């Protein structure tokens, strides 16, 4: 009864809500295994089929999921990388407000997607970026911009941090995305783009997110570093292609 009342309030059918839940569960599973992937999978799908999810509700879910990832492997967190990434992420998020006022969201999304595809191409060709503090901070700036504008802020970190040990990468990214999502949500709320209804929608889908995350816990120690790297680069490329499709198609 409560679920039906909620769906009526949000003006959603039960089938549409269930499909949203499946997307959220799949994204949570991918992030639980690889350290990121929730927004790279969910944001393009949401943009094409469930626009009401982006960016606010996805940031609510992604931030919560990232917090769970950080807690699960908190002993492996690279705090120096986290500090550099968060400094860049906060700067990028604040810059997003000014950028969004000058350039169209479509132009920015296309530009970011093309940059990510170029970065993936360099990585596949063996020219990967080192996880230096400067590169991590720069990835944080790009992530803050992309995360606030498109809700998919993970690809820059996939290009820079995929060479880290899997547990260290998952836990460090959990800290970064958890705090980063909170900052992005605060900015969106300040400009009137994050309402109570969007918060309720995000929170109502949290059981799907938790389910996907719990399922991933059974597989985190069975994925070797090389496979993790390939998964991350593939997700980065797919996320960029999804953003391009969402931006260029009617």
Measure the CA–CA gap between 47 and 55, rounded to whole angstroms: 9
**Helical spans, DSSP H, in the chain:** 2-10, 14-34, 38-49, 56-72, 79-102, 105-124, 133-150, 155-161, 166-190, 196-204, 206-216, 225-248
Structure confidence at residue 42 (pLDDT): 82
First to last CA, the chain: 37
Structure confidence at residue 1 (pLDDT): 46
Q: Which two tokens stand for residue 228?
A: 């993790």
Structure confidence at residue 76 (pLDDT): 92
Give domain limits for the chain.
2-248
* Sequential pLDDT tens for the chain (250 residues): 466 667 777 778 889 999 999 999 988 988 887 777 787 778 777 877 888 888 889 999 999 998 988 998 899 999 999 999 999 998 998 888 788 778 887 887 787 778 777 767 766 765 667 888 899 999 999 888 877 776 677 778 877 887 788 889 889 988 998 998 898 898 888 888 888 888 999 999 999 999 999 988 877 667 665 676 677 677 778 777 877 887 777 6
**Helical spans, DSSP H, in 151-224:** 155-161, 166-190, 196-204, 206-216
Residues 101-122: b if buried by 16+ CB within 10 A, e if exposed: eeeeeeebbbebbebbbebbee
């Amino acid at each position: 009864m409560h679920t039906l009342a909620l769906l009526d309030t949000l003006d959603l059918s039960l089938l549409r809500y269930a499909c949203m839940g499946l997307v959220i569960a799949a994204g949570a599973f991918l992030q639980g295994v690889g350290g990121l992937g929730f927004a790279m999978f969910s944001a393009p799908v949401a943009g094409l089929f469930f626009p009401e999810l982006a960016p606010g509700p996805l940031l609510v879910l992604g931030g919560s999921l990232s917090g769970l990832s950080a807690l699960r492997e908190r002993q492996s967190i690279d705090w120096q990388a986290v500090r550099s990434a968060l400094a860049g992420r906060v700067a990028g998020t604040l810059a997003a407000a000014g950028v969004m006022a000058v350039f169209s969201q479509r132009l920015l999304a296309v530009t970011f997607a093309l940059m990510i595809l170029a970065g993936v191409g360099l990585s596949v060709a063996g020219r990967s970026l080192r996880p230096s503090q400067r590169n991590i901070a720069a990835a944080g700036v790009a992530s803050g911009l992309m995360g606030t504008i498109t809700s998919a802020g993970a690809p820059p970190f996939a290009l820079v941090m995929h060479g880290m040990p899997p547990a260290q990468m998952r836990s460090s990214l959990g800290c970064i995305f958890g705090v980063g999502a909170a900052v992005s949500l605060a900015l969106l709320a300040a400009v009137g783009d994050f309402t109570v209804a969007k918060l309720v929608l995000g929170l109502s889908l949290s059981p799907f997110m938790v389910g996907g995350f719990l399922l991933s816990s059974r597989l985190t120690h069975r994925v070797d570093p090389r496979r993790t790297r390939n998964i991350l680069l593939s997700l980065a490329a797919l996320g960029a292609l999804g953003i391009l499709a969402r931006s260029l198609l009617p």
